[in-house]
């Protein structure tokens, strides 16, 4: 248990294991999460081991389902993995791990061909060639898409069908995982919540793969589904895992902004096909800001939109597709057209109000290229993991590819780990490190307060003073929220959100520069001498949130 400015980021458990019943399944490999990375890992591990997949809600409820734009891969003769490598490295602003990027762009081509062989149907032109599009910071068209703007849904359906057909895989839905079972640096499975019966279940496993997605729901404005609340990062942190690059949260520039409407993602491929950004006066502004105009890196476009909203005192800017052929617009973007039509917006003839929202987490659980972590028998893949492949800013449409490539590698490593592990599970009863105070808490109100302060102080623009004050505020909330014992999902999720919020804010406070998705108004320049490196946090690193972090100046030996 550690102190954070009077609050506590606690460990090792949220629940007392003597209150936990043992599930009648003891898989060789436990996979937590059912997005593209988790399902890819499950399929690979199942080639040699029994696999159990636990999901927070339904198997289809993941960030993968909402991925519209597509999946990037160098499949054509005029493209190459080397070109894809260069674009990814440039987008990552000096922090990408070169080996990880080469693995992504080279193995990714084969992984895409495999998903096609499984049944994925990507859009094709009349001549039978794939209908490729271009997105921000890509030097050429290399983005495959399905049903116009429903690529994630297509991949998810194909992978779920493959998992359901595999006799070595069992999927249990509506079993949100609460804690990882760990002892003396080794993971032995997890504790999940049976929400219907308000009881906890224990799953022992010889290898565990964490694939729970990112952190989008920590922000008031987000493109992410409600299940994406940083749970995996929080569990990993409590288990002693290293969390890297937590400060790098990518904000998607264009989400639908209408009062009362869900913040629906307007795919970057809309701009890739020629849509322009205009302000409330109808003025196109991106050509004056970046040579790539609307297809500049996402951080550049997001910052430009916020600046223009301030200048015009408007709650949004607008996407303009009116100069494009209406038949093509409706055929290429049927999902976007359908959503906008619900609010009586004809996307071919009217402006679409948009503004940025939290979208993707570049940081996460520090892993090697096979998903292995600093905790034995515990692996991570997908958005919850940090291989260094995205650096300070993810290249558009690399995330689905990452899930396929690194999910498969993690599954293979998990299978090998399980095959070499004995079946002894030493954990029987371990008391939680949490003090129980039974303070009445309005969970919904607290969650909204957290999202608001994160959007305000740890969003697109940040400053040291605001971050320090936010860290103190989060720590104060943690005094009474993290000391409670919940047996309902929303309470457990709130505790995870508070934990991860502090990791993000602390990382942002430590990084005294602006780079990629992280912009500090008090340190607006990139500083390679001090910060061309990762900031890694562990449960032992936290001190007084009100004090200046010792490592803020860029000490190479500091987290």
Residue 178 token pair: 């609460």
CB under 8 Å, gap of 24 or more: what pairs does 231-234 form?
231/56, 231/176, 231/177, 231/493, 231/496, 232/32, 232/33, 232/364, 232/365, 232/380, 232/384, 233/361, 233/364, 233/365, 233/384, 233/496, 233/499, 233/500, 233/503, 234/495, 234/496, 234/497, 234/499, 234/500
Give the Cα separation of 443 and 15 in Å (integer): 18
Which residues have C-beta within 8 Å of that of residue 447, sequence separation ≥ 6?
A: 490, 493, 494, 497
CB atoms within 10 A of CB 110: 12
For residues 412, 213, 472, 533, the Cα torsion angle rounded to the nearest 10 degrees is 50
Burial class (CB in 10 A: 0-12, 13-18, 19+), 261: middle
What residues pair up with 189 in beta bridges, in sequence order?
181, 204
Nearest to 29 by CA among 3, 48, 13: 48
What are residue 39's phi and psi, to 5 degrees? Answer: -70, -35
Q: Which residues are catalytic?
A: 298
For residues 534, 537, 540, 546, the Cα torsion angle rounded to the nearest 10 degrees is 100
Give the Cα separation of 278 and 281 in Å (integer): 8
Give the Cα separation of 508 and 262 in Å (integer): 28
Give the Cα separation of 57 and 416 in Å (integer): 29
DSSP code for 462: B
Do 312 and 151 contact (CB within 8 A), yes or no?
Answer: no
Residue 38 token pair: 């988790």
Do 64 and 115 contact (CB within 8 A), yes or no?
Answer: no
Give the Cα separation of 438 and 333 in Å (integer): 50
Q: What is the DSSP string of 6-59?
A: TEEE--S-SS-GGGEEEPS---SEEEE--SHHHHHHHHHHTTTS-EEEE-SS-T
Q: What is the DSSP string of 306-373?
A: HHHHHHHT-S-EEEE-TTS-HHHHHHH-HHHHHHHHHTT--TTTS-EEEEEEEEEES-EEE--TTSB-
Q: 3-state secondary structure string, 386-405? A: ECCCCCCCCCCCCHHHHHHH
Distance of CA 532 to the CA centre of its chain: 22
């Amino acid at each position: 248990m550690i102190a954070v400015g009077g609050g506590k980021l606690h460990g090792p458990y949220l629940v007392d294991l003597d209150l936990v019943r043992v599930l009648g399944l003891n898989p060789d490999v436990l996979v937590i999460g059912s997005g593209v990375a988790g399902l890819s890992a499950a399929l690979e591990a199942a080639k040699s081991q029994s696999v159990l997949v636990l999901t927070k809600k339904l198997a289809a409820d993941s960030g993968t389902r909402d991925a519209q734009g597509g999946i990037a891969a160098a499949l054509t003769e005029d493209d190459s993995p080397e070109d894809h490598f260069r674009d990814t490295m440039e987008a990552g602003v000096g922090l990408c791990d070169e080996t990880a990027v080469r693995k992504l762009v080279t193995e990714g081509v084969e992984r895409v061909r495999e998903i096609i062989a499984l049944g994925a149907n990507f859009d094709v032109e009349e001549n039978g060639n794939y209908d490729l599009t271009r997105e921000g910071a890509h030097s050429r068209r290399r983005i495959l898409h399905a049903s116009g703007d429903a690529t994630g849904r297509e991949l998810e359906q194909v992978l779920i069908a493959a998992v359901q057909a595999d006799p070595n895989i069992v999927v249990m839905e509506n079993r949100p995982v609460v804690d990882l079972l760990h002892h003396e640096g080794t993971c032995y499975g997890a504790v999940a919540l049976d929400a219907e019966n308000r009881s906890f279940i224990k799953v022992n496993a010889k290898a565990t793969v964490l694939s729970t997605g990112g952190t989008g729901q920590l922000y008031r404005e987000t493109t992410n589904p409600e299940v994406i609340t940083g749970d995996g990062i929080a569990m990993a942190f409590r288990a002693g895992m290293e969390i890297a690059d937590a400060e790098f949260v990518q904000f998607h520039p264009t989400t639908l902004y209408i009062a009362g409407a869900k913040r629906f993602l307007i795919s970057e491929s809309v701009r890739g096909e020629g849509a322009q950004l205009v302000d409330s006066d109808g003025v196109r502004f991106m050509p004056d800001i970046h040579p790539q105009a609307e297809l500049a890196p996402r951080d550049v476009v997001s910052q430009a939109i916020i600046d223009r909203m301030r200048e015009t005192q408007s709650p949004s800017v607008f996407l303009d597709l009116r100069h494009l052929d209406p038949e093509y617009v409706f055929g290429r973007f049927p999902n976007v057209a359908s959503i906008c039509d619900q609010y009586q917006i004809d996307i071919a003839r009217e402006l679409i109000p948009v503004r940025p929202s939290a979208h993707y987490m570049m940081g996460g659980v520090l892993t090697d290229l096979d998903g292995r972590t600093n905790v034995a028998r515990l692996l991570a893949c997908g958005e919850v993991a940090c291989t260094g492949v995205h650096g300070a800013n993810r290249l558009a449409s690399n995330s689905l590819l990452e899930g396929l490539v690194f999910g498969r590698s993690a599954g293979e490593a998990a299978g090998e780990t399980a095959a070499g592990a004995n079946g002894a599970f030493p954990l029987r009863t371990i008391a939680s490190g949490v003090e129980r105070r039974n303070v009445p808490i309005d969970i919904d109100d607290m969650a909204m307060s957290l999202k608001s302060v994160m959007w305000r102080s740890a969003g697109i623009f940040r400053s040291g003073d605001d971050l320090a004050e936010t860290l103190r505020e989060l720590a104060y909330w943690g005094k009474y929220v993290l000391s409670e014992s919940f047996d309902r999902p929303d309470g457990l999720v709130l505790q995870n959100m508070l934990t991860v919020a502090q990791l993000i804010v602390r990382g942002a406070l430590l990084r005294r520069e602006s780079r990629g998705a992280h912009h500090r108004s008090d340190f607006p320049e990139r500083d390679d001498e001090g910060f061309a490196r990762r900031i890694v946090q562990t449960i032992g690193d936290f001190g007084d949130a009100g004090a200046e972090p010792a490592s803020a100046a860029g000490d190479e030996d500091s987290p």
